[in-house]
Amino acid sequence: MKILEGIGAGVIQQFAYIGGLSDQFWSGIRALPRVLPVIGRRGRWRDAIRQMTAIGVSALPMIAIMAICSGMILALQGAGELRRFGALRYVIDLVAVGFTRELGPLLTAIVVSGRSGSAFSAEIGTMVVTSEIDALRTMALDPVEFVLAPKYLAAILMVPCLTIMCSVFGILAGAGFMYLSTHMTLGIYIRYVFDSILLRDVFGGLIKSVAFATIIVHVGCMEGFKVRGGPEAVGRSTTSAVVRSTFLVILADLFFTAVFYLARMQ
Amino acid sequence: MPTSVISVRDLSVNYDGHQVLDRVNLDIRPNEILVLLGGSGSGKTTMLRHIIGLEAPNAGNILIRGVDINNCSAEVLKQIRRQVGVAFQEAALFNSLSTEENVALPLRELTNLADPVIEIMVYITLAAVGLAESGKLMPHELSGGMKKRAAVARAIALDPGILVFDEPSAGLDPIVSAELDELILFLKQAFQMTIVVVTHEISSAFRIADRIAMLYKGSMIAVEDKESFKASTHPRIRQFLDRVPDKVVETPTVQEHLRELSGMTGVES
């Protein structure tokens, strides 16, 4: 009986979590216009600009390094097999399509989750502990609008940009490999890249990146808002934010990949 | 027109089966300073969180200027909240904003005043709490007392009729604490505010209070003017005022513990 109760409580808890996320998501969507320049609350867009710097510009070096390393790894692994069939040229397709559809959005999401998702959770968790969130509520200000919305706007703008940059760096790493192994020039390599990827691959990757940005921001902020107790609870929330958002990003990736696959089949 | 600015009616709060507040009643009159006293765990912070609408009670009502804050529309609650300024124990200043930006925040967000007007209002408000020269400083550059003053400035920025303080003197030395008490008295005089102060500092309570309410284990045991409170013969009030510790509970000996174990037939000393 205790086991059943435990399972039931766990399921209810997860449903409550998803319900809370969904509620927060719609509040975030409603609050987004108030962060925009001109039509939004005055000065709120400056917060979004600050967040764009933190989420986007500051993450670029790490994403570039990870993309270059991953591009090289993918090219080396692919070449190992394709060389046996005299199909080394198809390394270009592998790297280009792999990064545009999959690795670009996923690697970017993992980096942003680790850097920014945890930072959102720690920032909001600290605001909860120091009563700043309570202070907002007593001033009749909505914490979702004030704290979450600028981060959300920044993330849905910057994560797709980072995804494009990640794909570009990854594909360029493939160019480096092809030059070293076959002396293929950059011009020819780029022509092959454009032959192998379709516009729908690019759009598919960008749609994924917006969905991943949404997951990272909402999970990170939710874990922060949930903090109760002292500073140790903030530490737990940051870990939870990274673990949960990475897990949900991979689930969402599977969902979108399956949907795009089925769409291509028709 | 209600005679009480804040009315607490049969407020009961229960956390996981633990009764924190039990049918508490309290009326706070216009332009008075009411100090809510109580020891640790007496429920005073819980009561304050319910008065400022941060939590909903299990039973009972809280009326601010006659409006039940737990049974009103979001828009009405927003209007009510604008009439209540809160100075939190930890000051709760936003670390990413300077002192003057913190004070300007409610004005920028909740009014349509032009920026130059807001700047003037922020300066006047900071001057009122003695921080006219500290507006550009960031919260981490302020001392504990200055942070609390800045929090007061932010709380009064919208000119609320009610001001609530949570443990204003916590973590402050006696001199800074006394200065803060003077500030509270000044705010009452200058702005005709109704002020609620939650504290366990007896000296501070007697310095600023018009009336004192005392909570003990979730029940309201006294609401009196400060002279009557000082002279009270209620045993719990006397214990609190005379700083008498609770009777030390005699701890059972090891032998007594062992005797309670099932199957134990006897224990030798």
Binding-face residues of B in 229-258 toward A, CB within 8 A: none
DSSP state of B58: S
Determine the average pLDDT of the residues in A47-61: 92
Average pLDDT, chain B: 88
Q: If you search the block for the tokens 């076959």, which residue do you land on?
A: A182
pLDDT at residue number A41? 79
Asked if B109 lies within 8 A of A141 by C-beta distance, the reply is: yes
Asked if A141 lies within 8 A of B84 by C-beta distance, the reply is: no
Burial class of B253 by CB neighbour count within 10 A (0 to 12, 13 to 18, 19+): exposed
Average pLDDT, chain A: 92
User: Is B30 an interface residue toward A (CB < 8 Å)?
Assistant: no
Determine the average pLDDT of the residues in B130-152: 92
pLDDT at residue number A196? 92
3-state secondary structure of B222: strand
User: Is B82 an interface residue toward A (CB < 8 Å)?
Assistant: yes
Binding-face residues of B in 92-131 toward A, CB within 8 A: 92-94, 105-106, 108-110
Q: Measure CB to CB from residue B81 to each of A41, A140, A146 and give the nearest one.
A: A140
Amino acid at position A84, single letter: R
Q: Dihedral, CA atoms, B71, B75, B80, B81, nearest 10 degrees?
A: 110
pLDDT at residue number B2? 53
More confident residue, B253 or A84: A84
Percent of chain B with pLDDT strictly greater than 70: 91
User: Is A191 an interface residue toward B (CB < 8 Å)?
Assistant: no
Nearest-Cα residue of chain B relative to residue A140: B78
Asked if A135 lies within 8 A of B53 by C-beta distance, the reply is: no
Alpha-carbon gap, residue A192 to B57, rounded angstroms: 67
Q: Is the predicted pLDDT of residue B113 greater than 60, yes or no?
A: yes
Question: DSSP string of A46-115?
Answer: HHHHHHHHHHTGGGHHHHHHHHHHHHHHHHHHHHHHHGGGT-TTHHHHHHHHIIIIIIHHHHHHHHHIII
Q: Where are the beta strands (DSSP E) in chain B?
A: 6-15, 18-28, 33-38, 59-64, 67-68, 84-87, 162-166, 194-198, 211-216, 219-225
pLDDT per position as a tens digit, B156-197: 999 999 999 998 888 788 888 888 899 999 999 988 999 999
pLDDT at residue number B25? 93
pLDDT per position as a tens digit, B27-76: 999 999 999 998 888 899 899 999 999 999 999 999 999 999 989 998 89
pLDDT at residue number B96? 86
Pairing between β-strand B67-68 and β-strand B59-64 as defined by DSSP bridges: antiparallel
Contacts of A43 in chain B (CB under 8 A): 108
Asked if A139 lies within 8 A of B110 by C-beta distance, the reply is: yes
pLDDT at residue number B41? 85
Q: How far is CA A189 from CA A68, B96, B100, in A?
A: 16, 47, 57
Contacts of B86 in chain A (CB under 8 A): 134-135, 138
User: Is A132 an interface residue toward B (CB < 8 Å)?
Assistant: yes
Our CA-based measurement puts residue B69 at a distance from the nearest CA of chain A, in whole angstroms, of 12
User: Is A141 an interface residue toward B (CB < 8 Å)?
Assistant: yes
Integer-rounded Cα Rg, in Å, for chain B is: 22
Asked if A138 lies within 8 A of B78 by C-beta distance, the reply is: no
Q: Is the predicted pLDDT of residue B252 greater than 80, yes or no?
A: no
Our CA-based measurement puts residue B155 at a distance from the nearest CA of chain A, in whole angstroms, of 8
User: Is A140 an interface residue toward B (CB < 8 Å)?
Assistant: yes
Q: Residues of B157-176 as b/e, b for ≥16 C-beta within 10 angstroms?
A: bbebbbbbbbbbbeebeeeb
The pLDDT-based confidence of B249 (bands split at 50, 70, 90) is: very low
Determine the average pLDDT of the residues in A38-42: 80
Backbone angles phi and psi of B69, in degrees to 5:
-70, -15
Residue B180 near residue B168, CB atoms below 8 Å: yes
Written as six digits, the tokens of A240 are 């939870």
Our CA-based measurement puts residue A139 at a distance from the nearest CA of chain B, in whole angstroms, of 6
Test the A interface: residue of B109, B148, B196 with most A CBs within 10 Å: B109
Binding-face residues of B in 139-198 toward A, CB within 8 A: 154, 158
Determine the average pLDDT of the residues in B71-99: 90
User: Is A30 an interface residue toward B (CB < 8 Å)?
Assistant: no
Q: How far is CA B249 from CA A106, B183, B245, B254, in A?
A: 61, 42, 11, 15
Nearest-Cα residue of chain A relative to residue B113: A42
Written as six digits, the tokens of A112 are 């942003």
pLDDT at residue number A220? 96
Asked if B81 lies within 8 A of A43 by C-beta distance, the reply is: no
Q: Measure CB to CB from residue A135 to each of B49, B78, B86 and give the nearest one.
A: B86
Integer-rounded Cα Rg, in Å, for chain A is: 21
pLDDT at residue number B174? 85
pLDDT at residue number B119? 94
pLDDT at residue number B109? 87
pLDDT at residue number B267? 66
Amino acid at position A222, single letter: M
Burial class of A179 by CB neighbour count within 10 A (0 to 12, 13 to 18, 19+): middle
Alpha-carbon gap, residue B124 to A16, rounded angstroms: 47
User: Is A34 an interface residue toward B (CB < 8 Å)?
Assistant: no
Residue A215 near residue A252, CB atoms below 8 Å: yes
3-state secondary structure of A237: helix
pLDDT at residue number B262? 67
ipTM above 0.90, yes or no: no
Our CA-based measurement puts residue A120 at a distance from the nearest CA of chain B, in whole angstroms, of 14
pLDDT at residue number B90? 86
Residue A224 near residue A168, CB atoms below 8 Å: no
Asked if A138 lies within 8 A of B105 by C-beta distance, the reply is: no
The pLDDT-based confidence of B255 (bands split at 50, 70, 90) is: low
User: Is A135 an interface residue toward B (CB < 8 Å)?
Assistant: yes
More confident residue, A216 or A45: A216
